[in-house]
Structure 1
Amino acid sequence: MRAVSRPGRAGCVRHWKGYHVKAVMAGQPIPLHQKAKSWIETYKHHRRAATGHVGNDISYHLELIGHLNRYVGVNVSSARILDLGCGQKAVQTALFHADGATVSGIDAEIATFSFGPRTFLRALASHGPERAFKSLARHILFDGAYTRDLFEKYGKPASYDGIDVRVMDATAMAFDDATFDLVSSKAVLEHINDVPAALREVNRVLKPGGIAIINAHLFSSLSGGHCLAWADPDRSPPQNVAPWDHLRENRHPPGVYLNRMKLPEYRAAFDAALCVVDEAVVLEGERHLLKDIEIELAAKGYTREDLLTREVRFIARKRQ
Protein backbone atom coordinates (compact mmCIF):
# COMPACT_ATOMS: atom_id res chain seq x y z
CA MET A 1 0.00 0.00 0.00
CA ARG A 2 1.19 3.53 -0.68
CA ALA A 3 -0.21 6.92 0.21
CA VAL A 4 -0.77 9.79 -2.21
CA SER A 5 -1.65 13.36 -1.17
CA ARG A 6 -3.84 15.82 -3.05
CA PRO A 7 -4.17 19.58 -2.60
CA GLY A 8 -7.05 21.28 -0.81
CA ARG A 9 -10.18 22.39 -2.66
CA ALA A 10 -10.64 25.67 -4.46
CA GLY A 11 -12.14 28.23 -2.12
CA CYS A 12 -10.67 26.60 0.99
CA VAL A 13 -7.37 27.65 2.53
CA ARG A 14 -4.94 24.77 2.82
CA HIS A 15 -2.88 25.00 6.00
CA TRP A 16 0.63 23.63 5.89
CA LYS A 17 1.50 23.79 9.61
CA GLY A 18 2.67 20.19 7.65
CA TYR A 19 -23.55 7.13 11.62
CA HIS A 20 -26.10 5.39 11.26
CA VAL A 21 -24.82 1.81 10.73
CA LYS A 22 -27.21 -0.87 9.49
CA ALA A 23 -26.24 -4.28 10.87
CA VAL A 24 -27.79 -6.10 7.95
CA MET A 25 -26.53 -8.57 5.39
CA ALA A 26 -25.84 -7.15 1.96
CA GLY A 27 -27.82 -8.71 -0.87
CA GLN A 28 -29.37 -12.14 -0.49
CA PRO A 29 -29.40 -14.19 2.74
CA ILE A 30 -26.04 -15.87 3.31
CA PRO A 31 -26.05 -19.71 3.33
CA LEU A 32 -24.92 -21.47 6.49
CA HIS A 33 -21.75 -22.89 4.93
CA GLN A 34 -20.68 -19.40 3.87
CA LYS A 35 -21.40 -18.09 7.35
CA ALA A 36 -19.21 -20.88 8.77
CA LYS A 37 -16.38 -19.86 6.43
CA SER A 38 -16.87 -16.25 7.49
CA TRP A 39 -16.67 -17.20 11.17
CA ILE A 40 -13.43 -19.08 10.56
CA GLU A 41 -11.92 -16.15 8.66
CA THR A 42 -13.07 -13.79 11.41
CA TYR A 43 -11.40 -15.97 14.05
CA LYS A 44 -8.14 -16.04 12.09
CA HIS A 45 -8.29 -12.29 11.52
CA HIS A 46 -8.84 -11.46 15.19
CA ARG A 47 -6.15 -13.93 16.25
CA ARG A 48 -3.63 -12.16 13.99
CA ALA A 49 -4.84 -8.74 15.06
CA ALA A 50 -5.07 -9.44 18.81
CA THR A 51 -1.80 -7.59 19.38
CA GLY A 52 -0.55 -7.02 15.84
CA HIS A 53 -2.63 -3.85 15.35
CA VAL A 54 -1.50 -2.15 18.55
CA GLY A 55 1.45 -0.35 16.97
CA ASN A 56 -0.67 0.87 14.06
CA ASP A 57 -3.42 2.12 16.37
CA ILE A 58 -0.94 4.07 18.50
CA SER A 59 0.75 5.55 15.41
CA TYR A 60 -2.63 6.64 14.05
CA HIS A 61 -3.49 8.22 17.40
CA LEU A 62 -0.25 10.19 17.47
CA GLU A 63 -0.97 11.39 13.91
CA LEU A 64 -4.34 12.71 15.09
CA ILE A 65 -2.65 14.61 17.91
CA GLY A 66 -0.16 16.05 15.43
CA HIS A 67 -2.97 17.25 13.16
CA LEU A 68 -4.80 18.74 16.15
CA ASN A 69 -1.71 20.75 17.07
CA ARG A 70 -1.00 21.77 13.47
CA TYR A 71 -4.45 22.80 12.33
CA VAL A 72 -6.18 23.89 15.53
CA GLY A 73 -3.28 24.91 17.77
CA VAL A 74 -4.87 23.25 20.79
CA ASN A 75 -3.08 20.93 23.19
CA VAL A 76 -4.74 17.54 23.34
CA SER A 77 -5.16 17.75 27.11
CA SER A 78 -7.45 20.77 26.74
CA ALA A 79 -9.28 19.66 23.58
CA ARG A 80 -12.91 18.62 23.16
CA ILE A 81 -12.90 15.58 20.84
CA LEU A 82 -15.50 13.40 19.13
CA ASP A 83 -14.55 9.84 18.13
CA LEU A 84 -17.23 9.16 15.51
CA GLY A 85 -17.80 5.42 15.09
CA CYS A 86 -15.59 4.53 18.04
CA GLY A 87 -16.21 0.80 17.69
CA GLN A 88 -16.91 -1.75 20.37
CA LYS A 89 -13.42 -1.40 21.89
CA ALA A 90 -13.44 2.43 21.72
CA VAL A 91 -9.67 2.44 21.26
CA GLN A 92 -9.14 6.07 20.26
CA THR A 93 -11.65 7.25 22.84
CA ALA A 94 -9.67 5.51 25.58
CA LEU A 95 -6.33 6.90 24.36
CA PHE A 96 -7.64 10.47 24.13
CA HIS A 97 -9.07 10.03 27.63
CA ALA A 98 -5.59 9.00 28.79
CA ASP A 99 -4.22 12.19 27.19
CA GLY A 100 -6.52 14.27 29.39
CA ALA A 101 -8.86 15.32 26.59
CA THR A 102 -12.60 15.70 27.08
CA VAL A 103 -13.63 13.02 24.59
CA SER A 104 -16.90 11.40 23.58
CA GLY A 105 -17.13 8.22 21.53
CA ILE A 106 -20.28 7.39 19.59
CA ASP A 107 -21.28 4.31 17.64
CA ALA A 108 -24.40 2.56 16.40
CA GLU A 109 -23.33 -0.55 18.30
CA ILE A 110 -23.00 -1.07 22.03
CA ALA A 111 -19.45 -0.82 23.36
CA THR A 112 -18.20 -4.17 24.65
CA PHE A 113 -14.94 -3.27 26.37
CA SER A 114 -16.75 -4.15 29.59
CA PHE A 115 -18.82 -7.19 28.68
CA GLY A 116 -20.84 -8.13 31.74
CA PRO A 117 -24.31 -9.72 31.74
CA ARG A 118 -26.07 -6.36 31.32
CA THR A 119 -23.98 -5.46 28.25
CA PHE A 120 -24.58 -8.89 26.74
CA LEU A 121 -28.35 -8.56 27.19
CA ARG A 122 -28.31 -5.09 25.60
CA ALA A 123 -26.29 -6.43 22.65
CA LEU A 124 -28.67 -9.37 22.34
CA ALA A 125 -31.72 -7.11 22.26
CA SER A 126 -30.14 -4.57 19.91
CA HIS A 127 -28.18 -6.72 17.43
CA GLY A 128 -29.60 -10.24 17.71
CA PRO A 129 -28.06 -13.50 18.95
CA GLU A 130 -25.47 -14.03 16.20
CA ARG A 131 -23.83 -10.62 16.61
CA ALA A 132 -24.10 -10.74 20.40
CA PHE A 133 -22.40 -14.13 20.70
CA LYS A 134 -19.70 -13.17 18.17
CA SER A 135 -18.97 -10.04 20.22
CA LEU A 136 -18.85 -12.08 23.41
CA ALA A 137 -16.47 -14.62 21.86
CA ARG A 138 -14.18 -11.90 20.54
CA HIS A 139 -14.18 -10.16 23.92
CA ILE A 140 -13.21 -13.36 25.75
CA LEU A 141 -10.67 -14.65 23.22
CA PHE A 142 -8.97 -11.52 21.92
CA ASP A 143 -9.98 -8.12 23.25
CA GLY A 144 -8.42 -8.48 26.69
CA ALA A 145 -4.97 -9.28 25.28
CA TYR A 146 -5.25 -6.45 22.78
CA THR A 147 -6.22 -3.76 25.29
CA ARG A 148 -3.61 -4.87 27.84
CA ASP A 149 -0.92 -4.61 25.18
CA LEU A 150 -2.30 -1.27 23.93
CA PHE A 151 -2.41 0.35 27.35
CA GLU A 152 1.05 -0.98 28.32
CA LYS A 153 2.67 0.33 25.14
CA TYR A 154 0.99 3.71 25.00
CA GLY A 155 3.20 5.10 27.73
CA LYS A 156 0.48 6.92 29.67
CA PRO A 157 -1.88 5.53 32.30
CA ALA A 158 -4.86 4.36 30.23
CA SER A 159 -8.06 2.55 31.10
CA TYR A 160 -11.75 2.50 30.29
CA ASP A 161 -12.68 3.97 33.67
CA GLY A 162 -14.89 7.02 33.27
CA ILE A 163 -14.86 7.25 29.47
CA ASP A 164 -17.89 8.72 27.70
CA VAL A 165 -19.16 6.24 25.07
CA ARG A 166 -22.71 6.47 23.72
CA VAL A 167 -24.96 4.71 21.22
CA MET A 168 -25.89 7.47 18.78
CA ASP A 169 -26.98 8.08 15.19
CA ALA A 170 -24.23 9.91 13.27
CA THR A 171 -26.86 11.62 11.11
CA ALA A 172 -28.65 13.16 14.12
CA MET A 173 -26.15 13.74 16.91
CA ALA A 174 -27.27 14.79 20.36
CA PHE A 175 -24.56 17.44 20.76
CA ASP A 176 -24.83 21.21 20.73
CA ASP A 177 -23.57 23.25 17.81
CA ALA A 178 -19.85 24.13 17.84
CA THR A 179 -18.90 21.59 20.51
CA PHE A 180 -15.71 19.91 19.26
CA ASP A 181 -12.17 20.96 18.38
CA LEU A 182 -11.62 17.65 16.60
CA VAL A 183 -13.94 15.10 15.02
CA SER A 184 -12.10 11.93 14.01
CA SER A 185 -13.41 8.83 12.27
CA LYS A 186 -11.65 5.89 10.64
CA ALA A 187 -13.19 3.21 8.40
CA VAL A 188 -16.73 4.10 9.49
CA LEU A 189 -18.16 6.30 6.75
CA GLU A 190 -18.61 3.39 4.33
CA HIS A 191 -21.13 1.87 6.78
CA ILE A 192 -23.31 4.98 6.96
CA ASN A 193 -26.34 5.02 4.69
CA ASP A 194 -26.67 8.83 4.49
CA VAL A 195 -23.13 10.19 4.30
CA PRO A 196 -24.14 13.76 3.33
CA ALA A 197 -26.36 13.99 6.42
CA ALA A 198 -23.58 12.68 8.67
CA LEU A 199 -21.10 15.20 7.24
CA ARG A 200 -23.56 18.04 7.76
CA GLU A 201 -23.74 16.96 11.39
CA VAL A 202 -19.95 16.91 11.61
CA ASN A 203 -19.89 20.48 10.29
CA ARG A 204 -22.56 21.52 12.79
CA VAL A 205 -20.81 20.13 15.87
CA LEU A 206 -17.34 21.42 14.91
CA LYS A 207 -16.18 24.59 16.59
CA PRO A 208 -15.10 27.47 14.34
CA GLY A 209 -11.42 26.71 13.78
CA GLY A 210 -11.95 23.03 14.58
CA ILE A 211 -10.90 20.19 12.30
CA ALA A 212 -12.42 16.94 11.06
CA ILE A 213 -10.11 14.04 10.15
CA ILE A 214 -12.13 11.33 8.46
CA ASN A 215 -10.99 8.17 6.67
CA ALA A 216 -13.24 6.03 4.47
CA HIS A 217 -12.51 2.52 3.17
CA LEU A 218 -13.69 2.46 -0.44
CA PHE A 219 -16.07 -0.31 -1.48
CA SER A 220 -14.66 -0.63 -4.99
CA SER A 221 -11.13 -1.34 -3.73
CA LEU A 222 -9.73 -4.87 -3.58
CA SER A 223 -10.34 -5.06 0.18
CA GLY A 224 -13.50 -2.93 0.08
CA GLY A 225 -15.91 -5.88 0.09
CA HIS A 226 -14.87 -6.60 3.70
CA CYS A 227 -13.88 -10.16 2.82
CA LEU A 228 -11.27 -10.83 5.50
CA ALA A 229 -9.29 -13.05 3.14
CA TRP A 230 -8.47 -9.87 1.18
CA ALA A 231 -7.93 -7.65 4.23
CA ASP A 232 -4.23 -7.18 3.37
CA PRO A 233 -3.99 -7.99 -0.34
CA ASP A 234 -0.45 -6.76 -0.94
CA ARG A 235 1.01 -8.92 1.83
CA SER A 236 -1.11 -12.05 2.03
CA PRO A 237 -3.45 -12.51 -0.96
CA PRO A 238 -5.78 -15.52 -0.68
CA GLN A 239 -5.83 -18.42 -3.11
CA ASN A 240 -9.49 -19.33 -2.67
CA VAL A 241 -11.26 -15.98 -3.29
CA ALA A 242 -11.09 -14.22 -6.65
CA PRO A 243 -9.85 -10.61 -6.66
CA TRP A 244 -12.68 -8.05 -6.56
CA ASP A 245 -15.14 -10.89 -5.99
CA HIS A 246 -17.59 -8.43 -4.41
CA LEU A 247 -17.81 -6.51 -7.70
CA ARG A 248 -17.96 -9.63 -9.87
CA GLU A 249 -19.62 -12.91 -8.85
CA ASN A 250 -19.99 -11.89 -5.19
CA ARG A 251 -19.54 -15.42 -3.87
CA HIS A 252 -18.41 -14.03 -0.51
CA PRO A 253 -20.93 -11.26 0.24
CA PRO A 254 -20.16 -8.85 3.09
CA GLY A 255 -21.86 -9.47 6.41
CA VAL A 256 -22.30 -5.76 7.13
CA TYR A 257 -24.01 -2.84 5.43
CA LEU A 258 -21.78 -1.00 2.92
CA ASN A 259 -23.01 2.09 1.09
CA ARG A 260 -20.92 1.41 -2.07
CA MET A 261 -20.01 5.07 -2.55
CA LYS A 262 -17.19 5.83 -4.97
CA LEU A 263 -14.36 8.29 -4.40
CA PRO A 264 -15.91 11.10 -6.53
CA GLU A 265 -19.12 10.78 -4.50
CA TYR A 266 -17.19 11.12 -1.23
CA ARG A 267 -15.37 14.16 -2.60
CA ALA A 268 -18.64 15.79 -3.60
CA ALA A 269 -20.22 15.07 -0.20
CA PHE A 270 -17.25 16.55 1.69
CA ASP A 271 -17.10 19.61 -0.55
CA ALA A 272 -20.80 20.26 0.01
CA ALA A 273 -20.68 19.96 3.80
CA LEU A 274 -17.19 21.04 4.88
CA CYS A 275 -14.14 22.95 3.72
CA VAL A 276 -11.56 20.35 2.69
CA VAL A 277 -7.97 21.48 3.29
CA ASP A 278 -6.17 18.20 2.61
CA GLU A 279 -6.87 14.85 1.00
CA ALA A 280 -4.71 11.73 0.89
CA VAL A 281 -5.40 8.33 -0.62
CA VAL A 282 -3.92 4.89 0.03
CA LEU A 283 -3.49 2.65 -3.00
CA GLU A 284 -3.44 -1.15 -3.11
CA GLY A 285 -3.75 -4.18 -5.35
CA GLU A 286 -2.19 -3.03 -8.62
CA ARG A 287 -0.45 -6.37 -9.24
CA HIS A 288 -3.80 -8.16 -8.90
CA LEU A 289 -5.58 -5.96 -11.45
CA LEU A 290 -5.08 -8.09 -14.56
CA LYS A 291 -6.16 -6.63 -17.88
CA ASP A 292 -9.18 -8.92 -18.25
CA ILE A 293 -10.42 -7.97 -14.77
CA GLU A 294 -9.96 -4.27 -15.49
CA ILE A 295 -11.92 -4.59 -18.76
CA GLU A 296 -14.69 -6.60 -17.04
CA LEU A 297 -15.10 -4.04 -14.27
CA ALA A 298 -14.77 -1.04 -16.59
CA ALA A 299 -17.89 -2.38 -18.32
CA LYS A 300 -19.64 -2.11 -14.94
CA GLY A 301 -18.59 1.51 -14.53
CA TYR A 302 -15.49 1.14 -12.33
CA THR A 303 -12.42 3.20 -13.20
CA ARG A 304 -8.84 2.25 -12.44
CA GLU A 305 -8.87 4.84 -9.65
CA ASP A 306 -11.98 3.20 -8.17
CA LEU A 307 -10.34 -0.23 -8.15
CA LEU A 308 -6.91 0.72 -6.80
CA THR A 309 -7.82 3.28 -4.12
CA ARG A 310 -8.21 1.50 -0.80
CA GLU A 311 -8.75 4.47 1.48
CA VAL A 312 -9.24 8.21 1.37
CA ARG A 313 -8.55 10.58 4.24
CA PHE A 314 -10.04 14.06 4.34
CA ILE A 315 -8.93 16.84 6.65
CA ALA A 316 -11.62 19.50 6.68
CA ARG A 317 -12.58 22.66 8.49
CA LYS A 318 -16.02 23.89 9.45
CA ARG A 319 -17.87 25.52 6.57
CA GLN A 320 -19.30 28.75 7.94
Structure 2
Amino acid sequence: DGFAKMQSVPASPADGDAIELVADDICACSLPDASVDRILSWQTFEHIMDPAAALREMHRVLRPGGVAFIEYNPFFSIDGAHWVGTIDIPWAHARLDDEAFEEAVTTLHPGRPAYAGRLVRERINRMSHAQCRDFAHEAGFEVVEFLPRVRTEDALVLDDRILSQVLARYPQARPIDLLCRIVRVVLRKGEKGPI
Protein backbone atom coordinates (compact mmCIF):
# COMPACT_ATOMS: atom_id res chain seq x y z
CA ASP A 1 0.00 0.00 0.00
CA GLY A 2 1.47 3.35 -1.07
CA PHE A 3 0.37 5.21 2.06
CA ALA A 4 2.10 2.70 4.34
CA LYS A 5 5.30 3.11 2.33
CA MET A 6 5.06 6.86 2.68
CA GLN A 7 4.66 6.55 6.44
CA SER A 8 7.80 4.40 6.61
CA VAL A 9 9.97 7.21 5.21
CA PRO A 10 11.37 9.09 8.21
CA ALA A 11 10.10 12.65 8.64
CA SER A 12 12.20 15.46 10.05
CA PRO A 13 9.87 18.36 10.90
CA ALA A 14 11.81 21.60 11.42
CA ASP A 15 10.38 22.24 14.89
CA GLY A 16 10.30 18.72 16.29
CA ASP A 17 6.75 17.44 16.52
CA ALA A 18 4.62 20.12 14.85
CA ILE A 19 2.82 19.25 11.64
CA GLU A 20 1.40 22.04 9.53
CA LEU A 21 -1.13 21.29 6.80
CA VAL A 22 -1.09 23.81 3.96
CA ALA A 23 -3.62 24.27 1.18
CA ASP A 24 -2.14 26.21 -1.74
CA ASP A 25 -2.10 26.42 -5.54
CA ILE A 26 0.34 23.65 -6.32
CA CYS A 27 1.03 25.01 -9.82
CA ALA A 28 2.17 28.37 -8.38
CA CYS A 29 2.93 27.54 -4.77
CA SER A 30 3.68 30.32 -2.30
CA LEU A 31 5.88 28.12 -0.12
CA PRO A 32 9.66 28.64 -0.19
CA ASP A 33 12.06 26.16 -1.76
CA ALA A 34 12.80 23.00 0.27
CA SER A 35 10.30 23.95 2.99
CA VAL A 36 8.12 20.84 3.46
CA ASP A 37 8.70 17.18 4.30
CA ARG A 38 5.50 15.71 2.85
CA ILE A 39 2.91 16.57 0.24
CA LEU A 40 -0.40 14.71 0.36
CA SER A 41 -2.96 14.91 -2.42
CA TRP A 42 -6.16 12.86 -2.40
CA GLN A 43 -8.59 12.88 -5.31
CA THR A 44 -7.44 16.26 -6.61
CA PHE A 45 -4.57 15.58 -9.01
CA GLU A 46 -6.91 14.75 -11.89
CA HIS A 47 -8.34 18.26 -11.58
CA ILE A 48 -4.96 19.97 -12.03
CA MET A 49 -4.90 20.96 -15.68
CA ASP A 50 -1.09 21.25 -15.80
CA PRO A 51 0.12 18.21 -13.83
CA ALA A 52 3.72 18.63 -15.07
CA ALA A 53 3.85 22.13 -13.53
CA ALA A 54 2.33 20.79 -10.30
CA LEU A 55 4.99 18.10 -10.02
CA ARG A 56 7.77 20.63 -10.66
CA GLU A 57 6.39 22.80 -7.85
CA MET A 58 6.07 19.80 -5.53
CA HIS A 59 9.70 18.94 -6.19
CA ARG A 60 10.75 22.55 -5.59
CA VAL A 61 9.04 22.89 -2.20
CA LEU A 62 10.00 19.46 -0.84
CA ARG A 63 13.12 19.16 1.27
CA PRO A 64 15.76 16.66 0.11
CA GLY A 65 14.41 13.22 0.96
CA GLY A 66 10.85 14.59 1.08
CA VAL A 67 7.94 12.49 -0.14
CA ALA A 68 4.80 13.26 -2.14
CA PHE A 69 1.81 10.91 -1.94
CA ILE A 70 -0.77 11.37 -4.68
CA GLU A 71 -4.00 9.41 -5.09
CA TYR A 72 -6.18 10.29 -8.05
CA ASN A 73 -9.09 9.10 -10.20
CA PRO A 74 -7.77 9.23 -13.79
CA PHE A 75 -9.87 10.59 -16.65
CA PHE A 76 -9.49 7.43 -18.74
CA SER A 77 -11.07 5.12 -16.14
CA ILE A 78 -14.65 3.95 -16.63
CA ASP A 79 -15.74 6.46 -13.97
CA GLY A 80 -13.17 9.11 -14.90
CA ALA A 81 -15.94 11.62 -15.64
CA HIS A 82 -16.77 11.47 -11.91
CA TRP A 83 -20.34 10.94 -10.76
CA VAL A 84 -21.71 13.89 -12.68
CA GLY A 85 -20.50 12.59 -16.03
CA THR A 86 -20.55 8.81 -15.60
CA ILE A 87 -23.47 7.47 -17.59
CA ASP A 88 -24.81 4.16 -18.88
CA ILE A 89 -22.40 4.14 -21.83
CA PRO A 90 -19.04 2.75 -20.67
CA TRP A 91 -16.22 5.28 -21.13
CA ALA A 92 -18.62 7.71 -22.87
CA HIS A 93 -16.60 10.70 -21.63
CA ALA A 94 -13.50 9.37 -23.43
CA ARG A 95 -15.24 7.89 -26.51
CA LEU A 96 -17.70 10.58 -27.56
CA ASP A 97 -16.96 14.08 -28.77
CA ASP A 98 -17.99 16.90 -26.42
CA GLU A 99 -21.34 17.59 -28.08
CA ALA A 100 -22.37 13.92 -28.22
CA PHE A 101 -21.28 13.39 -24.62
CA GLU A 102 -23.30 16.35 -23.32
CA GLU A 103 -26.33 15.17 -25.29
CA ALA A 104 -25.96 11.65 -23.87
CA VAL A 105 -25.72 12.98 -20.30
CA THR A 106 -28.86 15.13 -20.61
CA THR A 107 -30.80 12.40 -22.44
CA LEU A 108 -29.88 9.48 -20.17
CA HIS A 109 -29.77 11.45 -16.91
CA PRO A 110 -31.93 14.56 -17.24
CA GLY A 111 -31.54 15.37 -13.53
CA ARG A 112 -27.77 15.76 -13.75
CA PRO A 113 -26.39 19.27 -13.34
CA ALA A 114 -25.97 21.32 -16.51
CA TYR A 115 -22.26 21.70 -15.80
CA ALA A 116 -21.54 17.95 -16.25
CA GLY A 117 -20.08 18.34 -19.73
CA ARG A 118 -18.10 21.43 -18.79
CA LEU A 119 -16.63 19.69 -15.72
CA VAL A 120 -15.41 16.80 -17.82
CA ARG A 121 -14.17 19.05 -20.62
CA GLU A 122 -12.47 21.76 -18.54
CA ARG A 123 -11.72 20.38 -15.09
CA ILE A 124 -10.29 16.89 -15.55
CA ASN A 125 -6.85 16.46 -17.12
CA ARG A 126 -6.10 13.83 -19.76
CA MET A 127 -2.91 12.49 -18.22
CA SER A 128 -2.09 8.85 -18.90
CA HIS A 129 -0.16 6.66 -16.47
CA ALA A 130 2.94 6.89 -18.67
CA GLN A 131 2.68 10.67 -18.77
CA CYS A 132 2.37 10.84 -14.98
CA ARG A 133 5.57 8.82 -14.59
CA ASP A 134 7.34 10.91 -17.23
CA PHE A 135 6.25 14.19 -15.62
CA ALA A 136 7.48 12.94 -12.22
CA HIS A 137 10.89 11.94 -13.61
CA GLU A 138 11.19 15.21 -15.54
CA ALA A 139 10.47 17.13 -12.32
CA GLY A 140 13.36 15.29 -10.67
CA PHE A 141 11.48 12.72 -8.59
CA GLU A 142 12.27 9.12 -7.90
CA VAL A 143 9.05 7.13 -8.41
CA VAL A 144 9.01 4.97 -5.27
CA GLU A 145 5.64 3.37 -6.06
CA PHE A 146 3.14 3.66 -8.89
CA LEU A 147 0.08 1.61 -8.01
CA PRO A 148 -2.82 1.52 -10.47
CA ARG A 149 -5.87 -0.19 -8.95
CA VAL A 150 -7.45 -2.29 -11.69
CA ARG A 151 -11.01 -3.61 -11.40
CA THR A 152 -11.61 -6.98 -13.04
CA GLU A 153 -15.21 -6.11 -13.89
CA ASP A 154 -13.98 -3.19 -16.02
CA ALA A 155 -11.83 -5.61 -18.04
CA LEU A 156 -14.96 -7.62 -18.81
CA VAL A 157 -16.62 -4.53 -20.33
CA LEU A 158 -13.66 -3.12 -22.28
CA ASP A 159 -13.59 -4.41 -25.85
CA ASP A 160 -11.68 -3.57 -29.05
CA ARG A 161 -14.40 -1.19 -30.26
CA ILE A 162 -14.35 0.87 -27.06
CA LEU A 163 -10.56 0.89 -26.97
CA SER A 164 -10.28 2.00 -30.61
CA GLN A 165 -12.83 4.79 -30.05
CA VAL A 166 -10.88 6.09 -27.05
CA LEU A 167 -7.53 5.82 -28.86
CA ALA A 168 -8.93 7.72 -31.85
CA ARG A 169 -9.55 10.68 -29.53
CA TYR A 170 -6.67 10.19 -27.09
CA PRO A 171 -3.69 8.36 -28.61
CA GLN A 172 -1.74 8.63 -25.33
CA ALA A 173 -4.16 6.24 -23.59
CA ARG A 174 -3.34 2.57 -23.10
CA PRO A 175 -5.59 -0.30 -21.94
CA ILE A 176 -4.22 -0.02 -18.39
CA ASP A 177 -5.36 3.62 -18.32
CA LEU A 178 -8.93 2.53 -19.05
CA LEU A 179 -8.93 -0.31 -16.52
CA CYS A 180 -7.63 1.61 -13.52
CA ARG A 181 -10.05 3.65 -11.38
CA ILE A 182 -7.54 4.82 -8.78
CA VAL A 183 -3.81 5.49 -9.02
CA ARG A 184 -1.60 5.84 -5.97
CA VAL A 185 1.81 7.39 -6.49
CA VAL A 186 4.66 7.80 -4.02
CA LEU A 187 7.45 10.15 -5.13
CA ARG A 188 10.69 11.03 -3.36
CA LYS A 189 12.98 14.00 -3.86
CA GLY A 190 16.64 13.02 -3.89
CA GLU A 191 18.74 13.50 -0.75
CA LYS A 192 21.12 15.83 -2.58
CA GLY A 193 18.48 18.37 -3.50
CA PRO A 194 17.42 19.21 -7.04
CA ILE A 195 18.40 16.67 -9.66
Q: Could you tell me which residue of structure 2 aligns to residue 196 of structure 1? A: 52
Closer, same or farther: CA 263–68 of 1 in aligned 2, 3 Å: closer
Is the aligned partner of 1:103 residue 2:20?
yes
Is the aligned partner of 1:227 residue 2:98?
no
1:101 offset after TM fit, Å? 4.4
Q: Secondary structure at the match of 1:275?
A: strand
Q: Could you tell me which residue of structure 1 aligns to residue 136 of structure 2? A: 270
Closer, same or farther: CA 299–104 of 1 in aligned 2, 3 Å: same
Unpaired runs of 5+ in structure 2? 106-116
Q: Secondary structure at the match of 1:271?
A: helix
Closer, same or farther: CA 248–105 of 1 in aligned 2, 3 Å: same
Q: Secondary structure at the match of 1:172?
A: coil
Which of 148, 151, 159 is matched with 1:281 structurally?
A: 148
Q: Secondary structure at the match of 1:104?
A: coil
Q: Could you tell me which residue of structure 2 aligns to residue 255 of structure 1? A: 119
Q: Could you tell me which residue of structure 1 aligns to residue 5 of structure 2? A: 67
Which of 69, 93, 101 is matched with 1:246 structurally?
A: 93
Q: Could you tell me which residue of structure 2 aligns to residue 307 of structure 1? A: 178
1:8-33 Cα shifts (integer Å, max 9, x gaps): xxxxxxxxxx8xxxxxxxxxxxxxxx
**Alpha-carbon distance between aligned partners in 1 of 2:18 and 2:63, rounded to the nearest angstrom:** 15
Contact persistence 2:148–2:181 (CA under 8 A): yes
Q: Secondary structure at the match of 2:188?
A: strand
**Alpha-carbon distance between aligned partners in 1 of 2:50 and 2:6, rounded to the nearest angstrom:** 27
Q: Could you tell me which residue of structure 1 aligns to residue 108 of structure 2? A: none
Unpaired runs of 5+ in structure 1? 1-17, 19-62, 81-99, 107-167, 231-239
What RMSD, in angstroms, separates the aligned Cα atoms of the two structures? 2.5
If you compute each CA radius of gyration, which structure gives the higher value, 1 or 2?
Answer: 1
1:64-92 Cα shifts (integer Å, max 9, x gaps): 4x434412x23xxx747xxxxxxxxxxxx
Contact persistence 1:229–1:241 (CA under 8 A): no
**Alpha-carbon distance between aligned partners in 2 of 1:186 and 1:177, rounded to the nearest angstrom:** 23
Closer, same or farther: CA 228–286 of 1 in aligned 2, 3 Å: farther
Q: Which has the higher contact order (CA 8 A, sep 6+)?
A: 2
Q: Secondary structure at the match of 1:103?
A: coil
1:129-178 Cα shifts (integer Å, max 9, x gaps): xxxxxxxxxxxxxxxxxxxxxxxxxxxxxxxxxxxxxxx32111111222
1:318 offset after TM fit, Å? 1.1
1:279 offset after TM fit, Å? 1.3
Q: Secondary structure at the match of 1:105?
A: coil
Q: Could you tell me which residue of structure 2 aligns to residue 4 of structure 1? A: none
TM-score by length of 1: 0.46
Moved over 4 A (4+): none
The equivalences for 1:1-320 within 5 A come to 64=3, 66-71=4-9, 73-74=10-11, 79=13, 101-106=18-23, 168-228=24-84, 230=86, 241-249=88-96, 250=101, 251-252=104-105, 253=117, 255=119, 257-273=123-139, 274-284=141-151, 285-300=154-169, 301=171, 302-319=173-190, 320=194
Q: Aligned residues: percent identity?
A: 32
**Alpha-carbon distance between aligned partners in 2 of 1:265 and 1:68, rounded to the nearest angstrom:** 22
Contact persistence 2:33–2:62 (CA under 8 A): yes
Task: State the aligned residue count.
Answer: 165
1:98-118 Cα shifts (integer Å, max 9, x gaps): xx7422231xxxxxxxxxxxx
Contact persistence 2:149–2:182 (CA under 8 A): yes
Closer, same or farther: CA 69–266 of 1 in aligned 2, 3 Å: closer
